[in-house]
């Protein structure tokens, strides 16, 4: 008996596994997912996904405007925003509480100086906030003092005094002392007294201007600065804060240095 078949290969033994049949060639037409759809259905699915994406973006934008502080967009399209939100999507929380500041507040100081020969003069206004701004601008690592010391001291004073600059609580005196020490150190740094002179009195004021509305807004915002002028204080931190009876009504006359 011939041990070889017609192909010249020996037959498999009883214990030898037979070679598996070759896998069928993949179907070139087989597709999965969206590719399996016809062009017409692919277009329909793409349009549906685009509509959903737009609706989600619009909804997120409407919710953001609803919870955001009052601004130009909410003033102009407030009714449309409310119609979208109420009643199904009502929110009872707000972003940025309290509202972000929409004003520029500059703290300025001037001094009454006693010169070495006994004369008395009044300096111009030193814009301390502008000095801090210049120190921060372009500084990758601005100090906490440059960023916050003066601003927080003024906020502390305003929160503990009424519009007539009268203390409204026990912390009023502390806020005055803190602010007075800061401006006294700044004046010393600027050598405001000059050679042989000494600073006797200091006077602080704030200059507030509104942030202008964007060009595309028709909102009218006054660009006129508003001043809040404090009385003259002794430059020494451990003495009474009010000094003299000089009228502060005309204190805006000094030039800003």
Please give the full DSSP string across 165-178, using - where no structure is assigned.
S-B-STTHHHHHHH
More confident call, 111 vs 30: 111
Residue 225 confidence (pLDDT): 95
CB 181 within 8 A of CB 236: no
Q: Which pTM was predicted?
A: 0.60
Nearest one of 136, 123, 119, 118 to 190, comparing CA atoms: 123
CB 134 within 8 A of CB 186: no
Residue 180 confidence (pLDDT): 94
Residue 41 confidence (pLDDT): 86
Separate counts of helices (H) and strands (E) for the chain: 6, 6
Output DSSP code: residue 225.
-
To the nearest whole percent, how much of the chain has pLDDT over 70?
76
Please give the Cα distance from 13 to 216 (Å, whole number): 90
Q: Please list, in sequence order, all residues whose beta carbon lies within 8 angstroms of the beta carbon of residue 130, skipping any fewer than 6 positions away.
A: 106
Average pLDDT of the chain to the nearest whole number = 82
Please give the Cα distance from 83 to 70 (Å, whole number): 17
Residue 247 confidence (pLDDT): 41
Confidence class for position 4, pLDDT limits 50, 70, 90 = low
Backbone φ/ψ region at 8: left (φ over 0), alpha (ψ -120 to 50), beta? left
pLDDT digits (tens, 9 = 90+) for 37-90: 788 888 888 999 999 999 999 999 999 998 888 888 888 888 999 889 887 787
Please give the Cα distance from 208 to 158 (Å, whole number): 13
> Using only C-alpha atoms, what is the Rg of the chain?
38
Average pLDDT of span 220-235: 93
Please give the Cα distance from 20 to 65 (Å, whole number): 67
Please give the Cα distance from 113 to 201 (Å, whole number): 7
Quickly count: other Cβ atoms within 10 Å of residue 62's Cβ: 18
Average pLDDT of span 25-29: 50
Instruction: For Cα atoms 101, 225, 110, give the angle at the middle one, nearest 5 degrees.
Output: 100
Please give the Cα distance from 170 to 252 (Å, whole number): 30
Question: At 113, which helix (H) or strand (E)?
Answer: strand 103-114
Residue 18 confidence (pLDDT): 58
Task: Using alpha carbons, list the distances in angstroms from residue 84 to 49, 57, 74, 91, 256.
Answer: 21, 13, 13, 12, 50
């Amino acid at each position: 008996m011939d041990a070889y078949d017609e192909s010249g290969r020996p037959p498999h033994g009883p214990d030898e596994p037979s070679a598996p049949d070759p896998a069928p060639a993949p179907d070139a037409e087989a597709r999965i997912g969206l590719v399996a759809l016809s062009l017409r259905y692919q277009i329909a699915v793409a349009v549906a996904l685009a509509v959903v994406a737009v609706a989600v973006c619009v909804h997120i934008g409407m919710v953001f405007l609803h919870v955001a502080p009052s601004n130009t967009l909410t003033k102009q399209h407030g009714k449309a925003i409310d119609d979208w939100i109420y009643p199904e999507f009502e929110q009872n929380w707000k972003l940025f509480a309290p509202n972000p500041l929409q004003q520029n507040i500059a703290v300025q100081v001037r001094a009454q100086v006693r010169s070495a020969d006994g004369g008395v003069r009044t300096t111009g206004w030193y814009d301390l906030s502008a000095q801090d701004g210049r120190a921060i601008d372009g500084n990758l690592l601005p100090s906490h003092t440059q960023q916050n010391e003066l601003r927080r001291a003024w906020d502390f004073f305003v929160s503990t005094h009424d519009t007539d600059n009268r203390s409204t609580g026990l912390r009023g005196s502390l806020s005055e002392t803190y602010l007075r020490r800061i401006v006294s150190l700044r004046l010393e740094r600027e050598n405001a007294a000059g050679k042989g002179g000494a600073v006797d009195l200091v006077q602080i004021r704030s200059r507030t201007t509104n942030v202008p509305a964007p060009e595309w807004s028709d909102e009218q915002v006054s660009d006129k600065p508003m001043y809040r002028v404090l009385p003259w204080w002794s430059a020494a931190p451990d003495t009474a804060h009010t000094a003299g009876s000089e009228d502060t009504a005309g204190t805006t006359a000094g030039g800003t240095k």
